[in-house]
Amino acid sequence: MNKYWHSLHFRYTVSVAVLIVLIFSGTYFAYSTFSEARTKTSTHLKNNQELSDNARKIRISVLDSYTYIDAYLLEPAYKEYKQHALNSIHTAISSSKDMLEEVSTMVRIDTIAIEQLTFLLNELKVQTEKLFLSREDSYRQYPSLAVGNDVMQPNRNAFNNAIAVALNEMRQEKKDRNSPGVYQEFIQTRHLWTQVLSNFRLYLANRMGSFDESSLPVQEKAIETMYQQLLKQLQKLAALDQMGELGFESGAAVQDMIKAGNGWFNGFKQVKKIHNADGWRIDSKIMKEDIVPLINRMSNLLLQVESQINHAVEEDMKSLVTAAHKQTNMLIWGAGAVLLFVLIIYVSTNRLVFRPIATVVKALKAEAIGKDGVLLPSVRSRETTALVDAFNEMAKRVHQRQSDLEHQALHDSLTALPNRTLLQDRMAYHIQSARREHRHLSLLMIDLNRFKEINDTLGHHIGDQVLIEVGHRISSQLREVDTIARLGGDEFAVVLPDADKEQAKLVCKKLLQAMQTVLEIDELHLYVGMSIGISSYPEHGIDVTTLIQHADVAMYVAKQNQLGCAIYDATKDEYSLGRLELINDLKEAIDNDNLSVQYQPSINMGSDEVKGIETLLRWNHPEYGILPPDQVIDLAEQTGLINPLTYWVIENALKQTTRLFEKGYELEVSVNISVYNLKDKHFVENIKEIISRYPIPTEKIILEITESAMMANPVRAAEILSELDEMGLRLAIDDFGTGFSSLAYLKQLPVDELKIDKSFIIGMKENSSDEVIVHSTIDMAHNLGLEVVAEGVETKEIYNHLKDFKCDTAQGYYMSKPLPLDLLEIWLDNFGVSQSFDDVLG
Ligand code: C2E
Ligand code: CA
Ligand code: CA
């Protein structure tokens, strides 16, 4: 596990998995809580809605029933009112039953209230039915009527009878005549009774008809007062009876009257009581005492239920809101958690990936500009470890390669000694410290004698060994602080810090002595001599270039005079002074056309006909006379004049060859090209431009490039040769055999001819190895499809020899020396006639 944990990839995968789980579970949890609450609430709301619908229905039905009851009470003739009222109550009852059913599933609503409501509705039904019954029956409707009938009417009848009996008796006994007062009293009594009764009738009519309710108490009072008078009258009669003033029947009638009156009055009192109470009309009593309170109670209950419903709705809304809150909170927390997680990932990525990468990038940059001591990131993960390891590995290798390259750039590959660049560096350094400390410094230029011979005769392999061994020899004689360098070819140089020219001379002697011991190489015993030139700081120069130049001059002097060793002598330095003049002269000569060319013909050995001519530079210096072209070219190469010079030669060669063409000599024309020309970016372009101005076909133009020139920069040479080849020009390798190139290498180039160096051809007559080399070179070149030109053919024997070797072309003094154009023309004319070189010109 620990192993995995160090992998960023593993951590990344785990983090992503955790994040996904976090997001999914959070979302699911939030969703499920809310959806549960929502489902619950929506069911509740639906139930509550139904409940409150039913409650409203009940309320409306109850109100309807009330309205219809009222209407019916006013208009009992409309029976449909009654029916409507009862129907409404039925509707309410069934709604309440529905409610009861609905509410049984709900928690927050009180069942008792609805049960009560149902009960009250049933009660309403009972009361209403009772009301309707009493409205249809006037006795029930008006309870006082019953009292009138049951109590008052018998008493009234009894009273009427009694008074009729009394009056009848008196009339029979003629009482009125005997005692007219008593009769009168009875009449009066009857009158009062009638009064009471008619007042009562009036009162009753007023009550039932409700004509003038305000007069009811007055009427009641009047009846009572009249009844009191009647009672007094009766008491008076009773007193008369006591006194025996009345007959038997009359006396009894008085007693009856008192009794009946009393009974009636009692009835009246009941009626009055009824009338003064609400129950005088039973329907309004039922309305007032039963139905209205019932309706009120129901209304209250409904209010209660409705408020419970509302409360439940509120609760549900609250729980919904709570769930929403919960969900929001959960989302906020979830988002917070994700953010935190992302933050942690960000921080750790920053620490584990970006910062290490940035540090490695910094280290890479530092490495690129070669700065040292860059801190690498402290390693935390497998990936950074790998990165840091890779970086270290790379840095190590780059350093190695760099130091290899540095070494290569500053050292000679053959001898591993410092090269010219390093020598110059060291010299500059030593000159600086010598200047500071007022000391001397000497430079030795060493050139081996006869080295070319060794190379030519024993081969490059031996030559190379010689150079290495000489390097060892020289080094063995030097101090630690001295620097030995190989400058190229057989040239060495030694810097001797803190040594004046005399001390340098001693070192020279030591070196020459050391070289007197034989060199044993591959069982060969060789003696290699050398020439040494000395220049000293500050006497012979105070800068690197001057010191090298002067040591060179001294070395040249030593070689010329076979001195072994020479110290620079300014008076003998004509060469160096003259050189400067020459450069200027050459520049002028190019500009003023003061140069000339000569042409050396070559012979096609198969047909013995003239094949072509080689253009060779000639400079007739006004002071020094004709200068050797090798030296002129050397000078031009070193001063950059080689480009204008080459173009000048080509231009002139083409101009003059055109003349030959016009005369019918359609010969091939060769021009020599220097290695420095290949460095000219516009070389191909310029050549193209020049040849475009002359009518000579490109396949008649041959460019000769020395083998060593080609080897100096093989890539560039190959490039340029291809371009020239594409133009249709012919290409020849000059001085073949003096360089180090193999035929295999040349095979890859678009070359047409191989010119074997004249040293091999000249040497052929004495040196059999040269002959072998020439023969085998011709064969190999033919195998590669190259034509072979032999240079330096000086004698007839060699010419014939070469013919035997199947050499294609011959060039040399035997046929003709290089000739100016006019002489060449004569030569060509003569050659055409004689066909024999011996006779031509001489
Ligand atoms: P090279 O290209 O090998 O030219 C042939 C040289 O051999 C010529 O020397 C020629 O006079 C000489 N030679 C010809 N036949 C014989 C012979 O039978 N025996 C002997 N011993 N020598 C013979 P030259 O004219 O002195 O030219 C020397 C070199 O200078 C040329 O060698 C060539 O490398 C260079 N050179 C001459 N003219 C030009 C030029 O216009 N441009 C360049 N870049 N180099 C040139
Ligand atoms: Ca040549
Ligand atoms: Ca040559």
| Spatial distance between the Cα atoms of 536 and 542, rounded to a whole number of angstroms | 9
Measured over the CA atoms of residue 704, residue 705, residue 707 and residue 710, the dihedral's sign is: negative
Q: Where are the alpha helices (DSSP H) in 570-701?
A: 574-591, 629-639, 642-662, 683-692
Query: Which atom of ligand 1 lies closest to the CA of 757?
Result: 3
What are 305-327's pLDDT values in tens digits? 888 888 888 888 888 888 888 88
The residue nearest atom 5 of ligand 1, judged by CA position, is: 791
Pocket test for ligand 1, best of 602, 672, 690 (most atoms within 8 A of CB): 672
φ, ψ of residue 142 to 5 degrees: the values are -115, 100
Identify which ligand lies nearest to the alpha carbon of 732: 2
What are 631-683's pLDDT values in tens digits? 899 888 867 789 999 999 999 999 999 999 999 999 999 999 998 898 888 99
Q: What is the dihedral of CA 55, 61, 66, 71, to 10 degrees?
A: 160
| Spatial distance between the Cα atoms of 626 and 85, rounded to a whole number of angstroms | 156
| Spatial distance between the Cα atoms of 576 and 638, rounded to a whole number of angstroms | 14
User: What spacing in Å lies between the alpha carbon of 672 and ligand 2's midpoint?
Assistant: 5
Q: Where are the alpha helices (DSSP H) in 75-110?
A: 79-103
- For the Cβ of 632 lying below 6 angstroms from any atom of ligand 1, the answer is no
Q: Work out the average pLDDT over 158-169.
A: 88
Q: Which amino acid is at 97?
A: K
The residue nearest atom 30 of ligand 1, judged by CA position, is: 630
In percent, how much of the chain has pLDDT > 90? 37
pLDDT grade for 841, boundaries at 50, 70 and 90: very low
| Spatial distance between the Cα atoms of 728 and 669, rounded to a whole number of angstroms | 14
Query: Which atom of ligand 1 lies closest to the CA of 642?
Result: 44
Give the pairing type, strands 441-448 and 668-673.
Answer: unpaired
- For the Cβ of 629 lying below 6 angstroms from any atom of ligand 1, the answer is yes
User: What spacing in Å lies between the alpha carbon of 747 and ligand 1's midpoint?
Assistant: 25
- For the Cβ of 644 lying below 6 angstroms from any atom of ligand 1, the answer is no
User: What spacing in Å lies between the alpha carbon of 554 and ligand 2's midpoint?
Assistant: 31
The residue nearest atom 4 of ligand 1, judged by CA position, is: 616
User: What spacing in Å lies between the alpha carbon of 152 and ligand 1's midpoint?
Assistant: 183
Cα angle, residue 782 at apex, residues 778 and 787 outer, rounded to 5°: 85
- For the Cβ of 616 lying below 6 angstroms from any atom of ligand 1, the answer is yes
Span between the terminal Cα atoms of the chain, in Å: 100
Q: Which amino acid is at 629?
A: P
Identify which ligand lies nearest to the alpha carbon of 676: 1
Identify each DSSP E strand in 252-291 by its residue range.
Answer: none
- For the Cβ of 548 lying below 6 angstroms from any atom of ligand 1, the answer is no
- For the Cβ of 154 lying below 6 angstroms from any atom of ligand 1, the answer is no
Identify each DSSP E strand in 415-514 by its residue range.
Answer: 441-448, 483-488, 491-497
User: What spacing in Å lies between the alpha carbon of 707 and ligand 1's midpoint?
Assistant: 14
Identify which ligand lies nearest to the alpha carbon of 641: 1
Given this model, what pLDDT does residue 623 score?
83
- For the Cβ of 812 lying below 6 angstroms from any atom of ligand 1, the answer is yes
Query: Which atom of ligand 1 lies closest to the CA of 673?
Result: 44
| Spatial distance between the Cα atoms of 505 and 316, rounded to a whole number of angstroms | 118
Given this model, what pLDDT does residue 558 score?
86
Identify which ligand lies nearest to the alpha carbon of 761: 1
| Spatial distance between the Cα atoms of 178 and 627, rounded to a whole number of angstroms | 219
| Contact call for residues 496 and 507 (beta carbons, < 8 A) | yes
pLDDT at 812 over 60: yes
pLDDT at 838 over 70: no
pLDDT at 842 over 70: no
- For the Cβ of 758 lying below 6 angstroms from any atom of ligand 1, the answer is yes
Measured over the CA atoms of residue 799, residue 804, residue 807 and residue 809, the dihedral's sign is: positive
The set of residues, in sequence order, having a beta carbon less than 8 Å from that of 116 and lying 6+ positions away, is 301
User: What spacing in Å lies between the alpha carbon of 649 and ligand 1's midpoint?
Assistant: 14
What are 547-581's pLDDT values in tens digits? 998 898 888 888 867 788 999 987 666 555 566 57
What are 83-132's pLDDT values in tens digits? 999 999 999 999 988 888 887 777 677 788 888 889 999 999 999 998 88
Mean pLDDT of the chain: 87
Identify which ligand lies nearest to the alpha carbon of 599: 1
User: What spacing in Å lies between the alpha carbon of 616 and ligand 1's midpoint?
Assistant: 6
pLDDT at 823 over 70: yes
User: What spacing in Å lies between the alpha carbon of 733 and ligand 3's midpoint?
Assistant: 9
- For the Cβ of 601 lying below 6 angstroms from any atom of ligand 1, the answer is no
What are 722-759's pLDDT values in tens digits? 999 999 999 999 998 876 666 767 778 899 999 999 99
> Between the CA of residue 735 and those of 704, 709, 790, 794, what are the distances in Å?
9, 10, 10, 16
**Residue 801 tokens, joined:** 């020899």
> Which of 2-16, 173-187, 522-536 holds the top average pLDDT?
522-536
- For the Cβ of 617 lying below 6 angstroms from any atom of ligand 1, the answer is yes
Identify which ligand lies nearest to the alpha carbon of 645: 1
Given this model, what pLDDT does residue 840 score?
56
User: What spacing in Å lies between the alpha carbon of 520 and ligand 1's midpoint?
Assistant: 37
Pocket test for ligand 1, best of 631, 680, 758 (most atoms within 8 A of CB): 758
φ, ψ of residue 483 to 5 degrees: the values are -120, 130
| Spatial distance between the Cα atoms of 440 and 537, rounded to a whole number of angstroms | 5
- For the Cβ of 672 lying below 6 angstroms from any atom of ligand 1, the answer is yes
Q: Which residues pair with 491 in a beta bridge?
A: 447, 488
- For the Cβ of 630 lying below 6 angstroms from any atom of ligand 1, the answer is yes
pLDDT grade for 179, boundaries at 50, 70 and 90: low
Cα angle, residue 685 at apex, residues 679 and 688 outer, rounded to 5°: 125
- Which of 213-227, 371-385, 532-546, 725-739 comes out lowest in average pLDDT? 371-385
User: What spacing in Å lies between the alpha carbon of 783 and ligand 3's midpoint?
Assistant: 22
- For the Cβ of 761 lying below 6 angstroms from any atom of ligand 1, the answer is no
pLDDT at 168 over 80: yes
The residue nearest atom 14 of ligand 1, judged by CA position, is: 812
Given this model, what pLDDT does residue 573 score?
62
What is the H or E stretch that residue 398 is in? helix 382-410
Given this model, what pLDDT does residue 390 score?
85
What are 337-377's pLDDT values in tens digits? 888 888 988 888 888 888 888 888 888 888 778 777 667 76
Distance from chain centroid for Cα 668: 68
What are 376-406's pLDDT values in tens digits? 767 667 888 888 888 888 888 888 888 888 8
